[in-house]
Amino acid sequence: MSETLKVDLVVIGAGSGGLSVAAGAAQLGLSVVLFEKGEMGGDCLNYGCVPSKALIAAADKAHQARAAGLGVGATEPAIDFAAVMAHVHQTISTIAPVDSQERFEGLGVHVVRAAARFVDDRTVAGGDVKVQARKIVIATGSRAAVPPVPGLDAIPYLTNETLFGLTELPSRLIVLGGGPIGVELGQAFRRLGSDVVIVEAAEILGREDPEAARVVLDQLRADDVELLARTKAVRVEGVEGALVVTVDGADGERRIEGSHLLVAVGRTPSMSGLDLDKAGIAHDAKGIKTDKSLRTSNKRVYAVGDIAGRGQFTHLAGAHASLVVRRAIFAMPVNADSLAAPRVTYCDPELAAIGLSEAEARKAHGDQVRIETFHFADNDRAQAEGDVRGLGKLITTKKGKVLGVTLVGRSAGDHIHVWALAMSAKLKLSALTGMIAPYPTRGEIGKRLAGMWYTPALFSDRTRKLVSLLKHVA
């Protein structure tokens, strides 16, 4: 090592969480070293959120061109896949300066473009730099998980890290995994012209409310995506452009031929090469073990984002970063267990949720749970747009505490915000019923769900008797 530094803070990983911690600490006047072995911006900017949403936007353009209705005829779009991918990469390039090495060096962060590893409980080394730090934050994120399917290691396959390097549209795409990534990308490629098969060992979108997931599955089938739920991949063979996946489902084994294979079975924390044991940092297959303040078993070290094993969302990593800045720098008490983090599957229609599902709530609270459901068929804006797919489901205790919300429908991800605010700020449902929602909008669904909770009491026999008395004195 040609250089040894002593600093206030080391951050390992330049994804959402790491960059937020580094920026906050540097702007507060602390000396910060940031290690990143790959691309600045991490998975979200380069291989995840940003490119996938750019691809989905192009696929939506194609879908809308084919969608006749409301007096407008359909047409088959001319899809230039090279131009689609150019849009994807231009989107990345446009956003990249916000996460760039130059910007962070301008903030005073010492950026080291090398893999980092622990030397001891307070020392990190990478490249030709060794750093001793008062505090260390691990923000290395996660990577695509690869299942132990026989033959998979011998054939070319795609993950989210390689998918956006495609130069030609797959003629037939086989997707292993029916979670959010598999569903989003599978639908997008189908709408761009690929034949698509999604293979899922359990239920497709099995984490989500079954009623809400069914709305998405109906649309996938309408898009002619072949869905194989409760079906395991047992063998993979072939060569680039001519692959065969043997699957085992309810009807026994069958062979599925395809030009490309996308592995989207989930993600695994990125811990390889960190030498965590040298720093006394406890970890397991789910990630680094942390307490509610995101501190590890090494009291100098914190972990944020996917690596902390509390959820794999960019916005959650950003929230973790805020907590760590408050705790590690200002010594304020924080509680990562109390965060209300929404999630969105960006398919069409979108599926958004926060908190407990109906099944989870009933398991935890038994018969003390109330459910209110509002369908978009009863929303005037949805009727005007000719798109009434979907619903909202509010899960509360019988006393009105919000336990969770699920929304499925057009732009559902943009309408979960009000519930994220309600749960994080512990608002009463009356705060939502008192809100004036612009008409006609799909966002009215939040106010309508809250209002439905009060409907039985508001129009009960007891209230009617009270009104009968009050009308003589009002």
pLDDT tens, position by position, 333-373: 999 999 999 999 999 999 999 999 999 999 999 999 999 99
End-to-end CA distance of the chain: 84
Who contacts 63 (Cβ-Cβ below 8 Å, separation ≥6)? 191, 223, 348
- Over residues 7-34, the pLDDT tens digits come to 999 999 999 999 999 999 999 999 999 9
Is 194 in the same domain as 292?
A: no
HEC string for 92-125: HHHHHHHHCHHHHHHCCCEEECCCCEEEECCEEE
pLDDT tier for residue 460 given thresholds of 50, 70 and 90:
low
Is 391 in the same domain as 421?
A: yes
Is 38 in the same domain as 181?
A: no
pLDDT tier for residue 75 given thresholds of 50, 70 and 90:
very high
Give the total number of structural domains in the chain.
3
pLDDT tier for residue 468 given thresholds of 50, 70 and 90:
confident
Is 92 in the same domain as 162?
A: no
Give all strands (DSSP E) within 347-412, no chain letters. 350-355, 369-375, 391-397, 402-409
d(CA 474, CA 99) in angstroms, rounded, equals 62
Note whether residue 463 is domain-resident. no
Is 165 in the same domain as 220?
A: yes
Give all strands (DSSP E) within 177-289, no chain letters. 195-199, 226-228, 232-239, 242-249, 252-258, 260-263, 267-269, 283-284, 287-288
Write the CATH number for 376: 3.30.390.30
- Over residues 383-416, the pLDDT tens digits come to 999 999 999 999 999 999 999 999 999 999 999 9
Helix or strand or coil: residue 370? strand
Is 16 in the same domain as 140?
A: yes
The domain in which residue 225 lies consists of 152-265
Is 77 in the same domain as 138?
A: yes
Whether residue 250 has pLDDT greater than 80: yes
Of all residues in the chain, what percent carry a pLDDT higher than 90? 93
Q: What is the mean predicted confidence (pLDDT) over 441-463?
A: 87
Is 251 in the same domain as 396?
A: no
Last residue of a domain, one of 293, 315, 338: 338
Q: Which range has the worst mean pLDDT, 76-85, 87-96, 456-465?
A: 456-465
DSSP structural state of residue 158: B
d(CA 301, CA 324) in angstroms, rounded, equals 10
Whether residue 40 has pLDDT greater than 80: yes
Is 162 in the same domain as 121?
A: no
Is 139 within 8 Å of 224 (Cβ atoms)?
A: no
**Which tokens go with 93?**
């390039």
- Over residues 288-309, the pLDDT tens digits come to 999 999 999 999 999 999 999 8
Is 403 in the same domain as 390?
A: yes
Last residue of a domain, one of 247, 265, 283: 265
* Res 4: pLDDT: 83
pLDDT tier for residue 463 given thresholds of 50, 70 and 90:
low
Is 323 in the same domain as 399?
A: no
Whether residue 243 has pLDDT greater than 70: yes
- Over residues 268-277, the pLDDT tens digits come to 999 999 999 9
Whether residue 1 has pLDDT greater than 60: no
Whether residue 462 has pLDDT greater than 90: no
